[in-house]
Amino acid sequence: MDYLKYSHYFSLPTQGNIYSLANLELANGTSKLLVASLKREIFCFEYIDGPNNQLIPTAREVSFTYIPTGAEIISIDAYNKSSNNNEFVVGITIIKNRNDSDALETYLNIYSGWEASDDFNIENIAQNCQNVELNFIPYRLIHTDLIHWENDDVVLKEKVFLLSGSDNLIHVFREGSDHLFREIEAKEYFPELMKTPSPVVWMESLYINDESERLVVTGCECGYLRLVKVCTKTKKIMFNFSTRLDNFISNVKLYRYERAVNMIVISSVLSPIVFNDVLKYGLSNYVSLPRDNSTTILTCCDVSDIDLDGNLEILVGSSAKEIILYKYYDDKWVLEDIKKVSSPIFGLQIIDITGDAVKELVVFSMKGVHIFQQDPDYVQRILNNKIGNLSKEDKEMMKKICDSL
């Protein structure tokens, strides 16, 4: 991974967890990060324009309201309701002790706001809070689309929050016409969100076939893994596969590969497992990836073409401060490289945070956030090779486009 150069690091006053990193994707295509530590602090990390066209990394604490002293942040998620403006909704789950007993109080705080310009101000959103009391310990918080069909046409698409809990259920929170979020009956809209044998640690959804079908995968504390496909038009389950691994599942990832959908499952001490073409084979066609150290705990993963060669790679983070890179050679996955950071890793995200159309590797560790950027010389060589392989007609078209800019 020599093509990834260390760019920036900012530290956290207290550690976070596997749920406390969220991506804010603005309407103009740029991204910011929200990073939460357990002891109430939430930071916004971004790159801003500086003198001489230089990008300056900045991190500032954001004071979200209704997070009381002594509360701990469990999970955070965010989404943009609009494709043209910055209309963000941020969800934060917290836990705190009651003043008069040892009992715990848990809440889902939902913050929302609208910005007319690209000068996005997270502080405005942080002051507009709806407080939803929970009767379970919150785990993973994500958002997904709730799609409404009329015949063969999508008539409405709205965002909802999904929150897994200690009650072994996944709860759905939907915004009403009064702009207040309320929990709705999951099985009415998401029949795949059935009760599990233990709390769901990680879940992910993916829409396929022009959004007419939805895949949802859930991984549990006890090692139970379930993959369900649902028809979004009829709300009927199309298939339901499950298996049980021997260890705590810490991360699952659905990703498209050519015309198939693959899935990678990260459990605490087992090797990462890749399930191939789950639409065709379910959970029956899989392979275990090699491990360099069997004593470390694997915590997270992401899938991307990180080396810009046109093929997807798998990156896995571990408690041993390692970023493990897997590449696909000769019909098998091989452990290609390992890069070290300064503390155990909680999360990995491959996103464009600098706004230059080249993705960066964001590593969320116990002590802070590391940013790795592509080496500019390496990117230039890749670009030159791609241009060199273009046909004459493609080169002439590219020249016309450049001349028109």
**Has residue 198 been placed in a domain?**
yes
Q: What is the pLDDT of residue 28?
A: 77
pLDDT digits (tens, 9 = 90+) for 132-155: 999 999 999 999 999 999 988 999
Q: What is the pLDDT of residue 404?
A: 63
Q: Which domain holds residue 277?
A: 154-288
Q: What is the pLDDT of residue 402?
A: 64
pLDDT of 166 > 90? The answer is yes
Q: Do 158 and 142 form a contact (C-beta atoms < 8 A)?
A: no
More confident residue, 264 or 39: 264
**Has residue 169 been placed in a domain?**
yes
Choice among 59-68, 120-129, 299-308, 342-351 with the minimum mean pLDDT:
120-129
**Has residue 381 been placed in a domain?**
no
Q: Average model confidence (pLDDT) for the chain?
A: 91
Give the model's confidence band at 5: pLDDT under 50 very low, under 70 low, under 90 confident, else very high. very high
What is the domain count for the chain? 1
* DSSP one-letter string for 338-351: EEE-SS-EEEEEEE
**Has residue 64 been placed in a domain?**
no
In the sheet that holds 21-25, the strands lie side by side as 21-25, 31-36, 42-49, 55-61
**Has residue 19 been placed in a domain?**
no
**Has residue 208 been placed in a domain?**
yes
**Has residue 32 been placed in a domain?**
no
pLDDT digits (tens, 9 = 90+) for 354-375: 888 889 999 999 999 999 999 9
Q: What is the value of pTM for the model shown? A: 0.93
DSSP-assigned letter for residue 84: S
CA distance 125 to 111: 6
Phi, psi for residue 398 in degrees, rounded to 5: -65, -40
pLDDT digits (tens, 9 = 90+) for 94-115: 998 766 556 789 999 999 987 6
Q: Is 128 helix (H, G, I), strand (E, B) or coil?
A: coil
Phi, psi for residue 380 in degrees, rounded to 5: -65, -40
pLDDT digits (tens, 9 = 90+) for 284-311: 999 999 988 777 899 999 999 999 999 9
Choice among 189-198, 290-299, 315-324 with the minimum mean pLDDT:
290-299
**Has residue 246 been placed in a domain?**
yes
Q: What is the CATH number of the domain that holds 220?
A: 2.130.10.10
Q: Which two tokens stand for residue 143?
A: 């958002």
Give the model's confidence band at 157: pLDDT under 50 very low, under 70 low, under 90 confident, else very high. very high
pLDDT digits (tens, 9 = 90+) for 230-246: 999 999 999 999 999 98
pLDDT of 118 > 60? The answer is no
